[in-house]
Chains A and B, each alone.
Chain A
């Protein structure tokens, strides 16, 4: 079984995001970039499927700027077998929307014919939570989002999903798209020898135009602003004062 894992290069989750003063977006100049944390979990799960003998090949795909190569090298160092970079943007500030990403991925999948796509449930930059669902729709495949447990059995997969009220388990026909949630696994760190080895693994490069996909955005960004700041209130000396204040405000 072949597993395809789309990965996105995003601002590192430890970096404090700064909104540009002119309202045009978020400042990405000289900011550390990393693999989207949810995508790391997807790569880890794919590699575990390979280690368990369920999968025989793991292919990582990234769509974005040329520098997303580094993100793909990380996936290769974790254990993916090969990678495909699709250059679709010249500047990191140009975010390719999930619909366009899904269209490009569909074209890649038509060529690669994987049985399973494992994707992060959302990217921590645009927080759209959409690519997996959109890809599944375009392919007419089954989808299981927000997975916290995955079991592949022959022609189907049993997936436990994180939903509002608790957990839902569904059985999906393969091929399928599974998007992963935080609790599915703990991704490994790439070891130095594996990082060295990853440099020799195949990494193909294409462009969005090669697949004939128009990546121009459907959503025009009018402005990007800082969220409204909340003012700090007061420090109360003891529980009695706290109770008195809450009674004054009429909430207890």
Chain B
């Protein structure tokens, strides 16, 4: 058995954290080959070669792969699929876009957002916004799997594994990239941050969200938001933590003014330590928090910033 793992490459750089976590989840299944695809991917390939457990790295460079458009990326993966029993990727928005397309081209079912690898055919995954965990056994000859990175630890440093370049099938010409609007930030990336501070509807306004950001900066944390806060326009959607947003599992998660809808809990309940600050003592968030503080956030958060 052998695993082809799609490395997470953004603008030619490897996103090490999600890739290393996916490698760690995949390596029990067989020899892991990481594919780094992009307009330029050599640097990403060199970085992937230093992840422990990686046997080989394939570098695919072509302008058509530059923005991870689904059609050329899926065609690229399918062209390599013959040699592998498993085709896997960290469950990023890019992989969720590409991997079901790969699966359909191979006439197999995709197994999305896997949170546990039981054996080569059997996987655990959350359904119903994390309200149930389903164990499924695939009858397909090849398994196409995306891995929920918050469920796995990152593989350490190793290697270097050997790096090869591969041919790219080219561009089917179905879609073209127009622009990216990426929020510039000095803060750590939300899904890999050690500390996350999130605000909810209780924060009350976009202006007051500055208080959440201030606490985050004090803790060197990433900033998150509940769906209610995003829907209310207090925070951008790429900050959203929850079933319809990002899934995080930091060492410390601070939920401020978040009631704790199931939707939100599905995105953060695997955090190691959860702190909740909410003025409503009956808020469901307190049922899963390690430390709960029943207080007005506009008093508690400035005091917390001062005393940390």
What's the least CB distance linking A174 to chain B, in Å?
10
Return chain B residues, CB-CB under 8 Å to A218.
108-109, 138-140
- How many chain A residues touch the partner (CB < 8 A)? 76
Inter-chain CA distance A140–B105, complex, in Å, is: 9
What's the least CB distance linking B59 to chain A, in Å?
22
Is B308 positioned at the interface, with any CB of A under 8 Å from its CB?
yes
Inter-chain CA distance A125–B200, complex, in Å, is: 25
Q: How many A-B residue contacts, CB cutoff 8 Å?
A: 242
Return chain B residues, CB-CB under 8 Å to A224.
127, 132-135
Is B19 positioned at the interface, with any CB of A under 8 Å from its CB?
no
| Beta-carbon contacts under 8 Å, A150-169 to B | 158, 161-169
Known: A128-B110, A236-B291. A141 touches B174 (CB 8 A): yes
- Contact with B219, one of A135, A148, A252 (Cβ below 8 angstroms): A252
- How many chain B residues touch the partner (CB < 8 A)? 90
Majority SS at the chain A contact face: mixed
Please tell me if the beta carbons of B101 and A136 are within 8 angstroms of each other in the complex: yes
- Contact with A166, one of B180, B195, B231 (Cβ below 8 angstroms): B180
A-B contact pairs, 18 of them (CB 8 A): A125-B127, A127-B129, A130-B112, A134-B103, A143-B97, A167-B180, A167-B181, A170-B178, A173-B174, A219-B139, A222-B122, A224-B127, A224-B135, A230-B288, A243-B308, A245-B291, A246-B273, A252-B252
Query: A-side interface residues toward B, CB under 8 Å?
Result: 11, 16-17, 19, 26, 97-99, 102, 124-138, 140-146, 148, 158, 161-173, 176, 182-183, 217-227, 230, 232-236, 238-240, 242-243, 245-246, 249, 251-252
Query: B-side interface residues toward A, CB under 8 Å?
Result: 10, 67, 69-71, 74, 92-94, 96-105, 107-113, 122, 125-140, 172-183, 191, 195, 219, 227, 231, 236-238, 243-244, 246, 251-252, 262, 269, 272-275, 281, 286-295, 300, 303-304, 307-308
